Amino acid sequence: MEHAIVLFDGDCNFCDASVQFIINHDPAGYYQFASLQSEIGEELRKKHEIPDDVDSLVLIQDGKAYVKSDGAIRISHHLTGLWKLAFYLKSFPRPLRDAVYDTVARNRYKVFGKLDSCMLPPPHIRKRFLDK
């Protein structure tokens, strides 16, 4: 099975919760993860020419990087349950979707705080993290 990679802000409580949510709704293990601050995160940013101002969540799928609402919506497509329906939010205009996304991203530290330490997932989940 081919995998997609989710890059996330390793310092953000909301991003950490988002990664845990994806893990819980992706039992097939389609998604792998790396923090944006990690060495591999930096390499992937450069390889896919992801702008420095994108600092919350990025999806790399089929050799292409998806940022902001495009990334979040595409992630939902491979999740179990009703979360798949979020994929249809793609029909809303991107500027509107990205405005909502940017508002959440801009305020995520104020509302959800920063992490003092990283989660330590169990071994069967840890293998999905690309950070070494």
pLDDT digits (tens, 9 = 90+) for 15-40: 788 888 999 999 999 999 998 889 99
pLDDT digits (tens, 9 = 90+) for 48-102: 999 888 877 899 999 999 999 999 999 999 999 888 888 778 889 999 999 988 8
Flag whether 132 is in a domain: no
Flag whether 131 is in a domain: no
Give how many domains the chain has, as a whole number.
1
For residue 116, pLDDT over 70 is answered with: no
| Residue range(s) defining the domain that contains residue 28 | 4-126
- Do residues 46 and 39 touch, judged by C-beta distance below 8 A? no
Q: What pLDDT, on the 0 to 100 scale, is given for residue 17?
A: 80
pTM for this entry: 0.82
